[in-house]
Amino acid sequence: MPDTTNNRPPPSAKLHSGDDDLVERRTLRDYYIIVRERLWIALPLALLAALGYAYYKSRELPMYQSTATMQIEKPERVVTSQEVVDTAVSSDADLNTYLQIIGSQKLRDKVAESLKPDDIKILQRPYQQDAIASGSPLPGPSGLVGGINVQSVARSYLISITAYNRDPDGAALIANRYVDQFITYLIDSVSGRNEDAVSYLNTSADRLRDEANAAEQRLLDYMRRENLVSLDNSTNIVRERLTSVNAALQTARLERLAIENLNNQVEAFRKDNKDLIELNIISTYGTVPALRAQLAEHLRTQAVLSERYLDRHPRMIEIDNSIRVTRQQLAAAIALAIADLQATLEKARAREASLAIEYTANEKEHLRLRDLSVEYKSLENTAAVAKSNYAQILDRLSQVNTSRNLEKLPVRRLDRALPAGAPYSPNPRSITQTSVALGLLVFFGVAFGLNLIDDRIKSAWDVEHFIGANLLGIIPSLGDIKDHDRYKLFAVGPNAADESGGGNNNSEGAPDRRRDPERDPHTNDGQGEHATEAFLSIFSAVKIHSRLDFPKSILVTSTIPGEGKTLISCNLAGAFARHGRRTLLIDCDLRRPTIHRHFGIENNAGLLAWFEAGAPFDDLLPENPHLGVIKIGENFDLLRSGGRSRTPTEFLESAAFTQLLTKLKKHYDLVIVDSPPLGAVSDSLLIAERTDEVLYVCRFNRALRKHIKLYIKALRAGKNEILGVVLNGLTARRIEYYSNYRYYRSYKKYYGPRAA
């Protein structure tokens, strides 16, 4: 068969001119895969961000808003002596001037100055708990005004003033106060002068305010000096205390008399040598009742024993001792009862004396407060009169300011601000919408961000778009198939399984015993059948993308160890053999050969053994004993490594190896070379220079795309024809996501676009 190694087309040649028009782009399913792959990373982060934002915003202090509305009216022209007064709003500039005045610092100061003590208390309500917790003072009037928003209603002469405050009543108060102060400002502007009455009232108000404050301060100083809460309250407190102490004193006195009576009885009994047991307080005290009962029992026992025994009998002596001990204990208990009675009497006397002292002190305090009432009432009346005068002058001043030039006022109140029923912030609806938007942003941001960071090979899009190679097929994860079976999915013949052994078995004339998936032990289960179909699809893809005729050689390599290149080599060789191609599988991983173990064969012959024997070229190389070609199945032979070598480059760069590959193609239609990973050693690049085509194996989510792209670029620089990439190790679920719908694209590249 002629050698066509040197007649292969250059890798850069285009097989179909229509390929230029085929541009790979991501589809919605690609983006769905990206999101689905990182769902359990992006989703918790998105939930954390959304819930964190919602929690943070929901913890904000409630804010209320109230809106008051004014109407700007066009008054009649007032013609006076040599002067025309026109306060009408005749243009947008006039209206904007009003808006700026309302939002000015001057009007804000007027609003703060107009706040009364009751108004300040309303505005300070939301700050009281914070002030108590932090120990800081409450804000003053200027800090309580808060923010406002002044707007003119479109195509009208209406002005709305919206006030924001932490208290609903405070928001309504500030909005209405702004309206009042703006109207006052306009009244002052129209009049143009401060009238004598207003000046007098202002002066009087200041003076009366000072007098009221001074009178109030004198009253407070007097109360502080005399340690009074208020005269009435202090008098009531002392009176109640005097009553309660007197009642307690009478009770203590009665208790003391009762205890003294008992003590006198005890002393009388002791003086008359009477039995103290007769007293109830003694007979019921502590252990006395029990000891009396015990003594009575001993006496009864003694009486019974005395009828039977003499006085010196041991039992009589024993009962006498018990009676003596019991009487001693009873006497001690009686003495303890008397001592306890005397101690109780002393306590009662001490309590009575203490209450008597306290009663005397409260009686003196009550008399002192009665003497203070005259001066206190005088100071209190003075302060009340001063405050009343100040309130009257303020009321009069307000009336004058309101009524002055009222007929010339171009503004009137339309709607007063009312307390809001609910806070405008935090807004649950707005928080929910923003949280959802933030969660979606974080979710997709994390998913696509990790996709940009993660450079590992994952999908057909990575292979075809980023690496720029054809996706030949997808190999599912074969974890359910035994390790010694997954490498022999297509191996048939006498040496297929455990019967494999050394030697060269010639199968010429043998019947075609290709594997029947219906009866094959390796493929009768679902996992094996799917694996077989996957390798058959790769076999078809290799035939489609290959530009060379048989005989030829294909190098199978990968980026890093463990990506399944040996698995692909073994089963791809078996697939070609099944379809009638005489196939030779060469284990060219001379540093770590493994194929012989997968087929249960000793590695006692092969490439290194043949090279060490002088590299003899016989007419029938497959029968050379140093090469030791093993027949694995019908049309399927194996050339082992023949040992290990730490420095295989001497052999790989030799002319003998090049000639060996060339001559083997005369005996076989296809030579598949299993080589070391490109990322580990440079052996594969040396082998690639001597093979016709390269098949690149990538394990899912293992090697980095940039490394794969770099090594494929190096292979192409060596004038190698890259058949494509096989993606290995995907689970059934991932295959559904990543692969099946992609096969159409690879075939479309081969057949070209349809004619219009």
Say if residue 432 is in the same domain as residue 580.
no
pLDDT tens, 353-366? 888 888 888 777 77
Say if residue 733 is in the same domain as residue 613.
yes
pLDDT tens, 190-238? 665 556 666 777 787 788 778 778 877 777 777 777 776 666 677 778 7
Q: CATH no. for residue 538?
A: 3.40.50.300
Longest dimension (CA), the chain: 152
Q: What share of residues in the chain are helix, strand, coil (percent, to 5)?
A: 60, 10, 30
How much is the pLDDT for 674?
Answer: 92
Say if residue 586 is in the same domain as residue 723.
yes
Statement: residue 723 has pLDDT above 50: yes
Say if residue 268 is in the same domain as residue 299.
yes
Does some domain include residue 678? yes
> What's the length of the chain?
756
Say if residue 138 is in the same domain as residue 258.
no
Say if residue 131 is in the same domain as residue 278.
no
Mean pLDDT for 725-737 is: 69
Q: Which of 188, 122, 132 is nearest to 145 (CA)?
A: 122
- The DSSP symbol for 606 reads B
Mean pLDDT for 181-194 is: 71
Rounded Cα distance between 458 and 699, Å, is 8
Beta bridge partners of residue 699, listed in sequence order: 728
Say if residue 548 is in the same domain as residue 647.
yes
Say if residue 746 is in the same domain as residue 630.
yes
Rounded Cα distance between 733 and 36, Å, is 11
Q: At residue 51, what are phi and psi to the nearest 5 degrees?
A: -70, -35
Cα–Cα distances in angstroms (integers) from residue 224 to residues 128, 217, 227, 381, in the given order? 25, 10, 5, 18
Say if residue 361 is in the same domain as residue 497.
no
How much is the pLDDT for 531?
Answer: 77
Cα 401 from chain centre: 59
Does some domain include residue 23? no
Share of the chain above pLDDT 70, in %: 79
Mean pLDDT for 558-585 is: 89
- Total number of domains in the chain: 4
Tell which of 385, 415, 445 closes a domain: 415
pLDDT tens, 48-100? 888 888 888 888 888 888 999 988 876 554 444 333 344 456 567 777 888 88
Does some domain include residue 214? no
How much is the pLDDT for 516?
Answer: 47
Does some domain include residue 94? yes
Cα–Cα distances in angstroms (integers) from residue 418 to residues 46, 75, 171, 173, in the given order? 40, 28, 8, 8
pLDDT tens, 647-701? 888 888 888 888 999 989 899 999 999 988 887 777 888 888 888 899 999 888 7
Say if residue 350 is in the same domain as residue 432.
no
Does some domain include residue 638? yes
Q: Do the beta carbons of residue 666 and residue 698 sit within 8 Å?
A: no
Cα–Cα distances in angstroms (integers) from residue 704 to residues 68, 228, 457, in the given order? 66, 86, 6
pLDDT band at 753 (very low <50, low <70, confident <90, very high): very low
Does some domain include residue 306? yes
Say if residue 182 is in the same domain as residue 259.
no
Q: CATH no. for residue 273?
A: 1.10.287
Does some domain include residue 218? no
Domain that holds residue 49: 28-59+427-453
Give the tokens for residue 686.
């040396």
Q: In sequence order, what are the residues at sequence separation of 6 or more whose Cβ sits closer than 8 angstroms to the Cβ of residue 69?
A: 158, 159, 160, 161, 413, 414, 415
Say if residue 73 is in the same domain as residue 52.
no
Does some domain include residue 236? yes
Q: CATH no. for residue 84?
A: 3.30.70.1130
Would you call 723 helix, strand, or coil by DSSP?
strand
